[in-house]
Amino acid sequence: MSELAPALEDHSPASELSHFPRNLIVLDTETTGLDYKTEKLIEIAAVKLIDGEVTETFSSLVNPEKAIRHSSFLIHNISEEMVQDAPTIAEVLPRFMEFVGDHAYVAHNAIFDYSFINEASKALYGQRFVNQRIDTFEMYRAVFPDEASHGLNSMLHRFGYQDEVVLHRALDDAMCLAKVFPRLRALYEQKFAWRLSQLPHVPYLVERYLRIQKASNALQAEMSDLKDIFKLYFQNGGTPIEASSGEVLSSHYRRNYLYDEKRVWNIALQANIQSQMFKLNPRALEKVIDRSEIEESVKEALRECRLSMHENRSVNFAKVVAAPEAPIVIADAVVPEKAEASVIEEEVSEG
């Protein structure tokens, strides 16, 4: 720890976070639906944010050459009549890419916008959209984890823009995001710098964490007991109760079905709806690749499907507990022998 502290003194928050670009593109998209593999872009917009100020804008409707889902129309109110004379993505994307250049881009729930732009880029250019991605949804959740919602509306209101409303039109929403991003970024950088400043104090923070964990476990046990009483109350004919603060205690049943997986899979394949019903479980897939007894050629084919790799670090608290002493009998004498210590581990995930 003594070697770490001086190193931290040489890193100001600005230099430590120099990987966070000062000049950025803020973008937003609207689409015919939610599935980037089957749906298309119908609007794309971007603004250049230079030192926190908007300097240029780009916006275009896009003819998707397919129908717009009614559920999506209800969100953005872009009709098929509005896009029927718009340029196609083959015309719009080159201009958009020229506007963006090699700048990093900011978006709220950025994976959504990225997925559609990336699909268009692969279709037109045969290559991925590789610009650095900054997701304000994740930043907002990191800075304000206790917010009930982490949508763009919530973030606008949090930063004092109560009169701003998310219209779900690409340029309007990109401009709203550009307004709040400098303030969000400042808080995010401050939080990161604060974390760095705590590194010399980790031994104390370990003790503090364990105290909080002990209190949290006790509270969780108490809350579990209370919920069991509430369930019993409703089982005996109890009616909903409104607390003085306005919350209402009520009860309902949730149905859980057990399905014939093989039959469901066959039906999904025949109806071509498997992408709507099944989501790939990467952890289960890794177990298949690493531990199953399937043919090596199949494992290799699965490995080739990997697009990228991310590592998540976890930390563990391990407590060495001495096992009971095991007696050794020598003739008529009993001599105690310490058994090999065992280790109890509790994993603490990053939150």
- The structure tokens 């025949």 sit at 270
Question: For residues 157 and 178, what is the distance between their CA atoms, to the nearest angstrom?
Answer: 14
What 8-state DSSP symbol labels residue 198? T
Q: Which two tokens stand for residue 320?
A: 């060495």
Indicate the helix (H) or strand (E) that contains 8. Answer: helix 4-9
Cα end-to-end distance, the chain, whole Å: 24
Amino acid at 118: N
If residue 105 lies in a helix (H) or strand (E), which one and from where to where? Answer: strand 105-107
Whether 19 is a known active-site residue: answer no
Residue from 19, 168, 201, 252 carrying the catalytic annotation: 168
Yes or no: say if 62 and 81 are a contact pair by the CB < 8 Å rule.
no
Asked whether the CA dihedral 288, 289, 290, 292 is positive or negative, the reply is positive
Cβ-contact 118, 128 below 8 angstroms: yes
- CA–CA dist 40, 34 (Å, integer): 9
Q: Please, what sign has the CA dihedral across residues 267, 268, 273, 276?
A: positive
The answer to whether 39 and 32 have CB atoms below 8 angstroms apart is yes
CB 327 within 8 A of CB 334: yes
| Bridge partners, 346 (sequence order) | 317
Active site residues: 168
